Structure 1
C-alpha cells in the first residue's frame, strides 16, 4: 500500500475520532443493529473527550449509509471537528470487533494492515470467442471487492468450433478455427495488458476453457506471464460456479500474501546486514524524518510502538507499507527498508 493515499487525512487539523465497524452478516433489523453498535462507540468516544462536532459528523455519515451493506462490508471512518475526512470499506477478520479512538492522530493501523494484506487480482475468464476481465481486490477474510468488469469479444469472423471427423475436406475449416482462436486470444491478451498497466495486479488469474486460457497465456507479455496462476474454476457459461471461483480467488490471495510477507522478511534481513534497513520505532522515526524510508514494515497482527506517528511521517515522505509474518522479531514491532543508508 502507498501511504501517500492517506495524506489527505493527515492534512487536516486534529484531534481525530477513528471508528471501526466490523463486517458482519446483516440481520433483519440491520438499521437497529447499527444504531446499537454506534451508541456504544459514541459513548466511548465522548468518555475519551471527543469533540461533539467530530462525533456528530460520524453519526450523520452513518445515518446516510445503507445498514445492511455496512454490516456486510465493514467500515472505517475518521472525523475531526470540521467533519469526516475518511470513509472507507474495512474488511476486518470476523471477530475483530468494533473499535473507536480519540487522539492527536488517527488510529489507522488496522485499516492499513487490511489494505496491505489485500491482493490485486486481474481475473480473466476466457473461452475461445472472448473473455470476462475482472479487476478484484481480494482480502483473506471477505469476498472479493470488484472494482471493474468488462466483456471482451475477439475480432475473428470465422467460427472457432472444429468439425468432427477426420475427412481431408475438414482440414481447412479446422485450420481456420485454430486461427480464429489465436486471433481472439491476441485480442484478449492486448486488452488484459492495457488493463494491467493501470490496475497493477499482484496476480493474473486465468480461468475458463483450457484451450482458451492456454492461447491467452501464450500471447501475454513476459512481465504478466510471471504473475499467472491458472485455475479450472469458473467459466463464462451460466452453469459455471461463481462460488467455486470465489473460493479459488481467496485461496490464491492468501498464498500470494504469505509469499509476499516471507519475501519482505528476507529483504529486511538482507537490508539489516548492509545498512539498507532499520528496526525499532526510534530508528524508523529517524529514518522517516530524513526521507529515507522506502517501505514501512509492520507485523501482520501486532501493533507497533508509536504506530500512529510512524504512519503519519511515512505518509508525508511518500513511503509504502507492507507486512512481515508475526514472529519475525522486529524491535518494537516495526522496521523499514531504506532508500539510502542512514548513518551517524
Structure 2
C-alpha cells in the first residue's frame, strides 16, 4: 500500500538541504544581467496580509526604481507576486530574481532574509548569497507519525529561522481486518484474540514500512523522524528498510492529545538544528583534511582559481562572516556543478570563503 503525497506547501526546485547542489542555479546565471533580486521576509500573517504584502512590495519597487531598474524587471516581479495566494509571502517569505527584459529567472517561496527585513537589489549579478546560506542551513525531514493502525508521512524542510515548511504529505491506512487492540477475555479465546491483534499490528506496520521506504527514495531526506505512540513506533521501527537506520531519530511526541502537533514541531526543530550543526562541523572537518592533503583551499583568490580550472567540488562560506565577491564565486561554482555548504562561525577561513577540491589545481 503506497502513500502518495496529498497536500503540498512550497515547491522545492532548488535542492534546499545541507549540501546544496548549485547546478540548480546554473540557468539563473546563464541569463544576461543586470538583475533585480527581491527578498520578502516571512512574517506572521494577519487579516490584512494581502494589503501588507502590497505595501511592502511597493516600498521595494520604489527602491529599485531609484536604482534605475527597468519597468519590465519590476513588472515581472509584481506579476509573480500577484499569482500567489493572499498572505503566502507573509507565511513563507519569497525570493525573486528578474531580468531587464522581464524574465523571472528565479522564484522560491522561501525567506532568506534571516530576520533582516525585506530587501531589493539591482546589480550585475543576482544577489543569491543570502538564499544559498539559508538553504544550506535547511534540513530535509521525513516525519512519520505512527500508531498501530496507520501512519502519517510529512515531507518537511526545516531551518532555524522558519516554521517547518511542508512540501507534501501522505498517509497509510493498514489493511488488516482484525483490530490491533487487545480485548480482555480469558483462556484460549483471549490468546486467539491477542494473536490476531498482534498479526494485525504486524501487517499494518509492514505496509507502513513499505511506504516509508518509497518516500525515502522519493524525497531523499537528511533525517527520518519517527513519532507517535510507543506501540506503533516500535512495530514500524522493526520493519523499516536498512537505509532508514542511519537517518532515524525517534520521539514520543505526536500523539492525539491537545497541543501535540505544536510540541512535535518544536521537537523537529530541535532535531533539525542539531543535524544542521553537525553537518557544518563535518564540512569544516572535510576542509581541514583537504587542506592537509592539497584537496582544500582557503581564501577568495585560491578558491576562485580552483573553480575556474574545474577543481572545486564544494564551495564553503563561513556562517556569519562576509564572503569576498560571493556573487562571482557562486556564479562560477554553479557553472561547474559544484555544491555549496557552510562551515561554523569562528572557523576563521580567509575572506570568509574556502573550498573542498576534486583534485589539486595547477598552481597559479
Alpha carbons 1:261, 1:324 under 8 Å: kept? yes
**Structure 1 residue 268 corresponds to structure 2 residue 287:** yes
Looking at structure 1, the residues matched to 72 and 113 of structure 2 have their Cα atoms a distance apart, in angstroms, of: 30
Aligned to 1:35: 54
Q: CA RMSD in A?
A: 1.9
Aligned to 2:124: 104
C-alpha displacement of 1:101? 1.1
Over residues 222-257 of structure 1, what are the superposed CA-to-partner deviations in whole Å (9 max), with x where a residue is unaligned? 32111111111113x475621111111111111110
Q: What TM-score comes out, normalization by structure 1 length?
A: 0.94
2:359 to 331, 340, 343: 340
Counting only pairs closer than 5 Å after superposition, residues 77-116 of structure 1 correspond to structure 2 as: 77-83=96-102, 84-92=104-112, 95-116=115-136
C-alpha displacement of 1:61? 2.6
1:231 to 241, 251, 259: 251
Q: Which moved more, 1:44-53 or 1:183-192?
A: 44-53
**Structure 1 residue 147 corresponds to structure 2 residue 167:** yes
Alpha carbons 2:113, 2:130 under 8 Å: kept? no
Counting only pairs closer than 5 Å after superposition, residues 206-221 of structure 1 correspond to structure 2 as: 206-221=226-241
Looking at structure 2, the residues matched to 151 and 22 of structure 1 have their Cα atoms a distance apart, in angstroms, of: 32
C-alpha displacement of 1:36? 3.1
1:22 to 34, 41, 59: 41
Counting only pairs closer than 5 Å after superposition, residues 159-198 of structure 1 correspond to structure 2 as: 159-164=179-184, 167-198=187-218
Aligned length: 343
C-alpha displacement of 1:49? 3.1
Alpha carbons 1:74, 1:89 under 8 Å: kept? yes
| Unmatched segments (≥5 aa) in structure 2 | 1-19
Alpha carbons 1:117, 1:257 under 8 Å: kept? yes
Moved segments of 4+, more than 6 Å: none
Counting only pairs closer than 5 Å after superposition, residues 109-148 of structure 1 correspond to structure 2 as: 109-148=129-168
Residues 147 and 28 of structure 1: CA distance in aligned 2, closer, same or farther (over 3 Å): closer
Q: Which moved more, 1:33-42 or 1:145-154?
A: 33-42
Residues 311 and 243 of structure 1: CA distance in aligned 2, closer, same or farther (over 3 Å): same
Aligned to 2:8: none
C-alpha displacement of 1:291? 1.8
